Chain A
Amino acid sequence: MRKSGIVGWGAYIPRYRIRASEIATLWGWEPGVPHGLGVEEKAVAGVDEDAVTIGVEAARNALRRAGVDPARIGAVFFGTESKPYAVKPSATIVAEALGITPNTMASDLEFACRAASEGMRAALGLVESGFIEYGLAVGADTAQASPGDVLEFTAASGGAAFVLGPAGDSVAVLEDVYTYVTDTPDFWRRGLSPYPAHGEGFTGEPAYFHHIESAVRGLLEKTGLRPSDFDYAVFHQPNGKFPLRVAKKLGFPREKVLPGLVTPHVGNTYNGSALLGLARVLDQARPGQRILVAPFGSGSGSDAYSFIVTDRIVERQILAPRVDDYIARKTYADYATYAKMRGLYIRTTF
């Protein structure tokens, strides 16, 4: 066991949903495509939301559960690929809104869907080295997809946040973590391009599967743990199918994956994806249980973490809305309204 862990966790999912079938109809996709992706509907940020407002909501919930004075947080890492400003940190807005400023580190991280996970690793390391008492890692996205692209079925809005701190105050203590990265061009977006491009069949085996499998196998080898030692397994979830397939390849049964699988209900929230899954697992975990979580980011890399749940978790589960509360709270939008919310109309006045 290491000397750091998760002290508080929080989720946020915007209220609006669009059904995948509506997208399929509008763009003339074969009706079975969304089902093949394992996604029924996705969450859509309202017109007045963005990655910052989503991140603030999730972080506020994480702070409620942590019960930590915001002034004691010494680092804020914001992971997103939907920065409201290309230049000007989102992390300072989040830190200012939550009363963490001014005596803190703050930065935005970019590693496709894995940036917030790297923020967790960095915060855990800063806690263990004694540089900070508590850190905040936030993953939030309003994921972009070109209208009509297959990515549009899954690219969704949402986020999760974690207060990291000393093991003695943690709901889930870090047992170990293993990271695996390479330069693999499976998904990218250039500076002035509004929508990402992807390497079609290249996103699966050489990217998602290779990196997650390598990170998880590395963790198992390093720790001597086996899949049967874990009660939950949470993987990055770009769709509803990949996490179940990678679990099978690694020897984790389906029932250990389903509690942390949120993409079928809300879509892929990118930096929120695996971390919303982890939040949903923490919403229901019991003391003594062991959690595997393996976020993935294109470009590509994966972190495999093992956390052990402590007695403190039960009293903190009720302190903020759960992932399932947000999944259940929804208002459907038609494609025209969704297009307005996502800024897809060309307008001459602002």
Chain B
Amino acid sequence: MRLSPAMLWRTRIPRYRLVGRECLECGRRHYPPRPVCPHCGSRRLRDVVLPRTGTVETYTVIYTVMEGFRDRAPHVIALVRLDDGTRVLAPLTDVDPSGVSTGMRVEATLRRIRVDGDTGLIGYGLSFRPLMEPRQGASK
């Protein structure tokens, strides 16, 4: 699996910072960013930083993984509804498949998504993990 420097470089901001697009015609958002609004077809779009927390709407557990993903099998891929309503398809990490359920709260995290062998590039990108809220109140 060869990772292209141009592809990684071009897509780094959406992958690193969860930047999606908002349509100036219909007001709806999507991720990853596309040149045309998937909801209404408009090309009038602006970049927006999406909220980093959301809820698992549905998910699938992949045992027959693509080449390059055996070390993280079974691979859990989830459709996450972010807190602004935007739906994002991304891996879940730091979970055992038996611990995943629809409705679970998750937050975005930067992880190694793909690694090009021992000598190629490392593709960092978006994953979601179970939400860890800061505790309220005074410390111990």
User: Which residues of A pack against B, CB within 8 Å?
Assistant: 15, 46-50, 52-53, 56-57, 84-85, 93, 96-97, 99, 283-284, 317-322, 324-325, 329, 331, 340, 347, 349-350
Nearest CB of chain B from residue A347's CB, rounded to whole Å: 8
Residue B72 contacts which of A15, A48, A318, A331 (CB distance < 8 angstroms)?
A: A48
Any A CB within 8 A of the CB of B68: yes
Any A CB within 8 A of the CB of B12: yes
B41-64: which residues lie under 8 A (CB-CB) from chain A? Answer: none
Please tell me the number of chain B residues within 8 Å of chain A, measured between CB atoms: 33
Cβ–Cβ < 8 Å partners of A331 in chain B: 94, 96
Contact status B127-A349, CB under 8 Å: no
Nearest CB of chain A from residue B18's CB, rounded to whole Å: 10
Cβ–Cβ < 8 Å partners of A85 in chain B: 122
Contact status B17-A47, CB under 8 Å: no
Distance, CA A50 to CA B137, complexed state (A): 32
Contact status B137-A96, CB under 8 Å: no
Contact status A53-B134, CB under 8 Å: no
Interchain residue pairs with CB less than 8 A apart (14): A48-B72, A50-B122, A52-B124, A53-B110, A53-B111, A57-B110, A93-B16, A96-B13, A317-B139, A318-B137, A321-B133, A322-B134, A325-B135, A340-B71
With A284-B140, A350-B117 given, is the CB distance from A97 to B134 under 8 Å?
A: no
Nearest CB of chain A from residue B124's CB, rounded to whole Å: 6
Cβ–Cβ < 8 Å partners of B96 in chain A: 331
With A349-B70, A350-B117 given, is the CB distance from A57 to B136 under 8 Å?
A: no
Contact status B12-A96, CB under 8 Å: yes
Contact status A84-B122, CB under 8 Å: yes
